[in-house]
Chain A
Amino acid sequence: MREVYLDTQDLAEARAMGLKPLEWERVLALLGRRPNLTELGMFAVMWSEHCSYKHSKIALRQFPTTGARVIQGPGENAGVVDIGDGQAVVFKMESHNHPSAIEPYQGAATGVGGIVRDIFTMGARPIALLNSLRFGELTTPKQRYLFSGVVAGIAGYGNCMGIPTVGGEVYFNASYTHNCLVNAMCVGIIDQAKLTKGRAQGVGSRLVLIGARTGRDGIHGATFASEELSEKSLEKRPAVQVGDPFMEKLLLEACLELIEAEVILGMQDLGAAGLTSAASEMAARGGQGVEIDVSLVPCREKNMNPYEIMLSESQERMLLVVEPSKVAVVLSTCAKWGLMGTDIGRVTTSGQVTIRQGERVVAEVPAKPLASEGPVYNPTATMPLWQVEVQSLNLAELPLPEDLNAVLRVLLASPNIASKEWVYRQYDHMVRGDTVVLPGGDAAVLRIKGAEKGLALSVDCNSRYVFLDPYWGGAIAVAEAARNVACSGARPLAITNCLNFGSPERPEIFYQLTNAIAGMSAACTALGTPVTGGNVSLYNETGGQAVFPTPTVGMVGLLDKVEQRVTVSFKQLGDVVCLLGETYEELGGSEYLKVVHSLERGHPPRLDLGAERRLQDYLVAARAEGLLASAHDCSDGGLAVTLAESAIAGELGAEIELVGLHGMRPDALLFGESQSRVVVTVKPQDVGRAETLAATLGVPFAVVGKVQGDTLNVDVQGKRLIAAAVASMSQLWKGSLTCLMSQ
């Protein structure tokens, strides 16, 4: 008896699982009959926004995805970029926002687990983790609970895996109060010859499920992630999976050992939508069918039905495609690592995902439509009425603070600017012994053992800019991430991203999404950093209030000589401080405007992508010439904060005199966030060469002072605007988060 005809479902059931009426019609047309519960569940998760990108697919087509170094663009488990010598870097970023909002420790931990699996599914050894975290203001116990829980969850998982968490960013803003954002990025390295793909190859090949047992956790997690959060979301705590990093460590080592032994044809991790997604995606990519017997799947609980087994998002599981003759080798490697390994099915020619329970067929669904031919929408994009209003900012009406020293102190203590040491000291950022620029600077740098080169990594997004102007905010996110990497002396190579937005079904949100993608695309093209993959997280809203649009960018750069890496700290008394780039009277969207004037408005700073590219070319060239003693990107808090951070990191003061900028408001001069600017220090004897190189490459270059004493002094036209002891700034900047978190 084919049980697929029993237990049939109706539209009401479909809606309850998140499918829309037209999608239900499409399911009926595809099957030629009504689906049963298992089948309906499979469609509901695979056609959720999380798995199908149905509302974002068309907008995502704007991204440039090709380039000379791109080996694998979007569509596989992770992007792959050539770094020479037959090696490649494999990287991706993914969100775990909804689960983290409900259960911060496990939500964040399993976010790390998921992205790590995406990397070793490609056959790569994971070598670094980064993350981008966003919460509401730290003024309430709830936000501190979310923040500390998420950090502990990331630490708990990443530390146990032995993958250093080398960088990231943390932002606090009221827009994230009900929807925190947790984006995790993993970077791996691989010999190109060993790249593994997630596809079902070779008819008759066996499907071997390895790793954890399947439980009732995480059922419909992907569907849940595609809804708005509400008061009722807490009831969905069972949809949050529980992580076991030890199991994942064993899975990692076993999988890499199997790849080394060349006994695997294909591999796919079980993440969102569990076995359903792994089976149907592998079948669809390979142009084949698959048959699985759920009665063979090792379960945590008795009497789990096919629906539960197919939709479970239990963590730390992997589906392998193996030639029948190699199954024994796979199982014995699993046994060595103490892992469960079970032959649960085979690759067929049917083009169907066929689910059996013993002899009975309990679900049968065409693989390709399920995995990759879900509905696609092109939502309406309408600029919201408030957009123009929030861009207006009359500087003439903005009072000028009397004590700019006090402003600098307030900014240094602001949680968005203050040192994130409280966070990264909880992460093992040194394991593997390759982290050669530690967290706390612009980009983390890792050496590659046995090679001269290194990788520079950063994540970035100033979401306030994106809120104020989605297009330019998106472009700046890419530009800043690339600039961070270039400040270390590395050439930016490619990006991954996490697009965190509200409901795309609202025209104003879709306007933000599509324009942010357009701006990011323009920047990626101008800076030569194609998009190799990423993730979309929509419905980050509660009660109609969406988060700031947050297209987080994860950037990978290549430093051909890692010995030449450049860091943010002032190095030596007497070094000359130089400012690269132009400063304009811009305060829109600045941290200063928010912290001091309680305003989040104005135009974000202008961005000239040509100037940005020239600046980054300069940083790479000047590093190669050995001209840079330090380099630090001007971003949140502007020039004054940048100088202060370099001074704090180097435990050295500086005498700065800003000339040629008179007429500009001093607050804009000190705290404005004009783009494409970097503060560098240069040895006195190298200043001439550094300046000549800047002229050759068309980069504005100004000597503004020198490293001196133990105080940061900034004069404008003979008037001392800033005089701050480095030790006291350091105390403030380093102690602020710890202080806030010990309330």
Chain B
Amino acid sequence: MRFGIVVFPGSNCDIDCYHAAKEVLGQPTEYVWHQESDLARFDCIVLPGGFSYGDYLRTGALARFSPVMTAVAKEASRGKLILGICNGFQILLEAGLLPGAMQKNDHLQFRCEMRHVRLENVKTPFTTLGQAGQVLRLPIAHAEGNYFIDELGLEALLGNDQVVFRYTDKDGRVTAEANPNGSLHNIAGIVNRAGNVLGIMPHPERSTEEIQGGTDGLLIWTSLLAWWGERHA
């Protein structure tokens, strides 16, 4: 399975995603400069975390105009797997590939810590190896992860099973204390209607090896491999 890690000016989790895909999963992986316009060679395109364009104006607001985003949209419409992590999630929202918007954390501070998320939908390519209701412990690191969508949008998200991860306590309870940023409905990650584009605020690439203090993030990466493998056996 061939991974492309998009590098925008200011991306800084590109190295970590590359490491996860290439070294931990052992898959062919390339960096893709944001000026590129053809992504057809990849099976999964990762928009990594970081501060594309310094987060100036609004997170992801400038990156969405990078030439590569036209190609990302094209591949998304063809059903390719697109994984947007943290800033990558914000870019997908700005680009309209996922619904909703991101606000500043309700406490107005950057937050880097371990948090729990619950799997809400295990039928997506990103969670196919998970159990419904399974709780993962993943690192978060963001200042703008306060997801918002209007009422109709939320209804649609829930109705279509597009909410994939919600912040919970370690026992899987959705509580206000478990929510690190004020995100609506404790939402931590969503997919598009077709299910092939995921945006997630926590960092699964920082949780793939025992030495990192946990491997819960691996589930997302190995799910991708399994889902793709089944279709390309």
Contact = CB atoms under 8 A, between A and B. Distances in A.
Interface bracket on A: 20 to 34
A161 B23 CA distance: 23
A563 B209 CA distance: 12
B103 interface: no
A436 B112 contact: no
Given A159-B143, A162-B13, A428-B112, 7 more contacts: A155-B109, A250-B10, A338-B9, A425-B112, A433-B20, A438-B213, A562-B211
A442 to B, nearest CB: 17
A249 B111 contact: no
B26 to A, nearest CB: 14
Given A159-B141, A337-B9, A246 B53 contact: yes
7 contacts: A160-B55, A249-B12, A426-B111, A430-B212, A433-B16, A433-B205, A433-B208
Given A160-B10, A162-B12, A428-B112, A245 B51 contact: yes
Interface string B108-121: 01111100000000
Contacts of A433: 16, 19-20, 205-206, 208-209, 212
Given A338-B9, A426-B111, A449-B19, A159 B205 contact: no
Given A246-B53, A425-B112, A563 B211 contact: yes
A152 B143 CA distance: 11
A424 B205 CA distance: 21
Nearest to A164: B112
Given A433-B16, A433-B212, A426 B112 contact: yes
A645 interface: no
Given A160-B54, A162-B50, A245-B54, A428 B212 contact: no
B12 A425 contact: no
Contacts of B65: none
B110 A430 contact: no
Given A245-B51, A436-B213, A250 B111 contact: no
A244 interface: yes
A432 interface: yes
Contacts of B139: 430
Which 9 residue pairs are nearest across A and B when measured between Cβ atoms?
A162-B12, A246-B54, A160-B51, A433-B16, A428-B141, A428-B112, A433-B206, A426-B110, A425-B113
A562 B16 CA distance: 19
Contacts of B212: 430, 433, 436
B40 interface: no
A3 B24 CA distance: 64
A447 B12 contact: no
Contacts of A162: 12-13, 50-51
Interface in B131-163: 139, 141, 143
A473 to B, nearest CB: 33
B112 A246 contact: no
Contact of A430 (B20, B50, B55, B112): B112
B64 interface: no
A245 B10 CA distance: 9
A431 interface: yes
A429 interface: yes
A162 to B, nearest CB: 2
Interface of A: 152, 155-156, 159-162, 244-247, 249-250, 337-338, 424-433, 436, 438, 447, 449, 562-563
Contacts of A424: 112
Contacts of B166: none
Nearest to A447: B211
B211 A159 contact: no
Nearest to A565: B211
Contacts of B209: 433
A430 B9 contact: no
Contacts of B203: 430
A481 to B, nearest CB: 24
A721 B50 CA distance: 50
Interface string B41-70: 000000001110111100000000000000
B56 to A, nearest CB: 7
B110 to A, nearest CB: 5
Nearest to A155: B110
Interface in B4-28: 9-10, 12-13, 15-16, 19-20, 23
Given A245-B51, A430-B139, A563-B211, A161 B12 contact: yes
Contacts of B208: 433
Given A162-B12, A249-B51, A436-B212, A429 B56 contact: no
Contacts of B206: 430-431, 433
A425 B209 CA distance: 22
Which of A156, A431, A438, A563 has the most B CB atoms < 10 Å from its CB?
A431
Nearest to B12: A162
B178 to A, nearest CB: 15
Nearest to A421: B113
A436 B206 CA distance: 11
Contacts of B54: 160, 244-247, 249
Contact of A246 (B10, B23, B141, B213): B10
A431 B141 contact: yes
A250 B143 CA distance: 21
Contacts of B9: 246, 249-250, 337-338
A436 B110 contact: no
A252 to B, nearest CB: 10
Contacts of A428: 110, 112, 141
A417 to B, nearest CB: 21
Contacts of A425: 111-113
A213 to B, nearest CB: 16
Nearest to B14: A162
A383 to B, nearest CB: 45
Contact of B51 (A159, A449, A562): A159
A427 B211 contact: no
Interface in B178-233: 203, 205-206, 208-209, 211-213
Contacts of B211: 436, 447, 562-563
Best-buried of B19, B56, B208 by chain A (most CB within 10 Å): B19
Nearest to B33: A336
A417 B161 CA distance: 47
A109 B9 CA distance: 20
Q: Which of B54, B111, B112 has the most CB of A within 10 A?
A: B112
Contact of A432 (B15, B53, B109, B110): B15
A160 B139 CA distance: 17
Given A162-B50, A246-B9, A447-B211, A432 B112 contact: no
Contacts of B143: 159
B201 to A, nearest CB: 13
A563 B50 CA distance: 28
A156 B205 CA distance: 22
Nearest to A422: B109
A734 to B, nearest CB: 12
A159 B140 CA distance: 13
Nearest to B113: A425
Contacts of B13: 162, 431
A613 B114 CA distance: 36
B205 to A, nearest CB: 7
Contact of B12 (A155, A427, A431): A431
Nearest to A438: B213
Contacts of A247: 54
A560 to B, nearest CB: 15
A150 B19 CA distance: 33
Contact of B110 (A159, A249, A438): A159
Contacts of A249: 9-10, 12, 51, 54
A193 to B, nearest CB: 21
B199 to A, nearest CB: 19
Contacts of A250: 9-10
A156 B51 CA distance: 10
A741 B209 CA distance: 35
A148 to B, nearest CB: 9
A432 B12 CA distance: 8
